[in-house]
Amino acid sequence: MAGEADVTSRNANQLTATIIRRPSSLRELAEWACRDDNFNAHLSDFLHEFKRRRDFEMVCEAPELMQEHFNDGGWRDAYLAAVAAYLARQIGREVPRWAMAADRFLVSPWFAEQNYLPLKLRLLIESPPEFRERNLFVSENAMDVY
């Protein structure tokens, strides 16, 4: 009976370790998102991991461009650049050079909410500067994790 409890416990621990695996860099986040089309979940996991570690190395390496994979106008590429800029500034570091490349900025605006005009107007006002300068409009708490 005790052996069975250990096996169950051991299996539960292995399952937990699998569930908690989070991207350790923006580059890894992009790779995972291209593989399974789950950008938002990987972004949330990455932000949790960054909050825990606060390690500049997590944003230093340029993620692969995802525009061709998703055919999305490049908003995900601009978004990751904005995330890198935002987090770098939060910990008092310079924005990584890759995040300032022209292909990390949008020509046309992208809104986190596409259909509801009053919310779009609010996003214009509250979007953090690192996002706004890339023509991305998100809520002021878009980078918050709980």
Contact 42, 79 (CB under 8 A): no
14 within a domain of the structure (yes/no)? no
Secondary element (H or E) of residue 11: helix 2-20
83 within a domain of the structure (yes/no)? yes
The pLDDT confidence band at residue 146, using thresholds 50, 70 and 90, is: confident
Q: Which residues form the domain of 60?
A: 24-137
Q: 72-96, pLDDT tens digit by residue?
A: 999 999 999 999 999 999 999 999 9
As a whole-number percent, the residues of the chain with pLDDT over 90 amount to 80
pLDDT surpasses 90 at 28: yes
Q: Where are the alpha helices (DSSP H) in 21-128?
A: 26-36, 39-53, 57-60, 67-70, 75-90, 117-126
142 within a domain of the structure (yes/no)? no
Contact 44, 25 (CB under 8 A): no
73 within a domain of the structure (yes/no)? yes
Quote the pTM value: 0.85
Which residues, in sequence order, are CB contacts of 93 under 8 Å at separation 6+?
56
DSSP 106: -
Q: How many Å apart are CA 42 and CA 117, to the nearest integer?
A: 28
3 within a domain of the structure (yes/no)? no
101 within a domain of the structure (yes/no)? yes
Number of separate domains in the chain: 1
Q: How many Å apart are CA 126 and CA 138, to the nearest integer?
A: 7
pLDDT surpasses 50 at 102: yes
Q: 111-130, pLDDT tens digit by residue?
A: 998 888 899 999 999 999 99
